[in-house]
Amino acid sequence: MAIIVISHEIGAGGPEIGPALGERLNYRCVGQDLIVDVARRYGLLEEKLSHLDEAKPSLFERFDAETRRYITVIQTALYEFAEHDNVILLGRGGQWLLRGIPHVLRVRVMAPFDLRQKRLAKKMAGQMGEQTNQRTVTDMVRRDDMEKIGRMRYLYEVDIRDPALYDVVINSEKVSVEAAVEVIAVLVRRPEMATSEVGMRLVADRALASRVQVALATHPETRKYRTTVEAKDGVVTLEGTAALEEAVDVARAVNGVREVRTQQVEIPPIPPFVA
């Protein structure tokens, strides 16, 4: 049927809408279990995966090849879940990674800052059994917002708040969880949201390109280089400045790759100093 991506602000109700929608549509709702699945299949540290999944990388991490591998693996897992269709993906940049695919519905769930504060404080008080410090809750909401904004800007050079990234924006101040589920359920059952052969190929191409990226980010001979990967119907094109021969060998070993092509990127010479 369709793929639903839900991006949400903390305290806006996204984690409540996702599972309720999954039950309504009989879709799988993928949240934190994506990280657990990635850690198990790729043998990575769950703690570091969770950190990079939620926050923008630090200055040191931005230049760390291992960090790049972790982020690429998270993206690959999202694509692999999307390939199965009939799935709800919570966060993780799906609104950008799955852009342009006809049967993907991208939803943003937001609410006024003060309301999100109150909801989070109430939730924390229920979990801890005591009144929470208002300043602590305010700082938590503000920090979470900034981390998500920074992560999307660093990874994809987009603003997570940009309405153009979404097909539907829901303000949960007045729209209840039940109402949001009803709206989204009606939309994904529309004829234009039906899974098509073209859409399935687009998802498969991006998933294959991402798997090649993981292989390149893992192999000792190619992990230190940045190589752009594109895939179409099993034909993979690699674009980079170095180690392309090694990258071709690595890419050929990835399941689903039929052919590998390369495009060398020339590094422009440094212009002479002009006094």
CATH number at residue 257: 3.30.300
Q: What is the reported pTM?
A: 0.86
Co-location of 207 and 178 in the same domain? no
Q: How confident is the model at residue 266 (pLDDT cuts 50, 70, 90)?
A: low
Is residue 93 located within the same domain as residue 126?
Answer: yes
- Together in a domain, 202 and 138: no
Q: Are 91 and 7 in contact (CB under 8 A)?
A: yes
Residue 234 neighbours by CB distance under 10 Å: 12
Q: What domain count does the chain have?
A: 2
Domain-embedded: residue 66 = yes
Query: Phi and psi (nearest 5°) for 58?
Result: -70, 170
Token pair for 8: 């949400």
Same domain? For 107 and 12 the reply is: yes
Alpha-carbon gap, residue 247 to 250, rounded angstroms? 5
Indicate if 36 and 168 belong to the same structural domain: yes
Digit-coded pLDDT (tens) for 194-241: 999 999 999 999 999 999 999 998 899 898 888 899 999 999 999 987
Residue 273, pLDDT score: 47
Q: Which residue has the tokens 């269709």?
A: 85
269 within domain boundaries: no
What does each C-alpha distance from 82 to 105, 160, 212 come to in angstroms?
Answer: 12, 20, 17
Same domain? For 97 and 179 the reply is: yes
Task: With a cut of 50, say whether residue 175 has pLDDT above it.
Answer: yes
d(CA 98, CA 82): 9
Per the structure, the complete domain to which residue 201 belongs is given by 197-264
Q: Which CATH number covers residue 107?
A: 3.40.50.300
Number of C-beta neighbours around residue 233 at 10 A: 10
HSE-up of residue 33 (Cα within 13 Å, Cβ side): 8
Which of 156, 171, 193 corresponds to the end of one domain?
193
Q: Which has the higher per-residue pLDDT, 275 or 176?
A: 176
Q: What is the dihedral of CA 115, 118, 122, 127, to 10 degrees?
A: 90
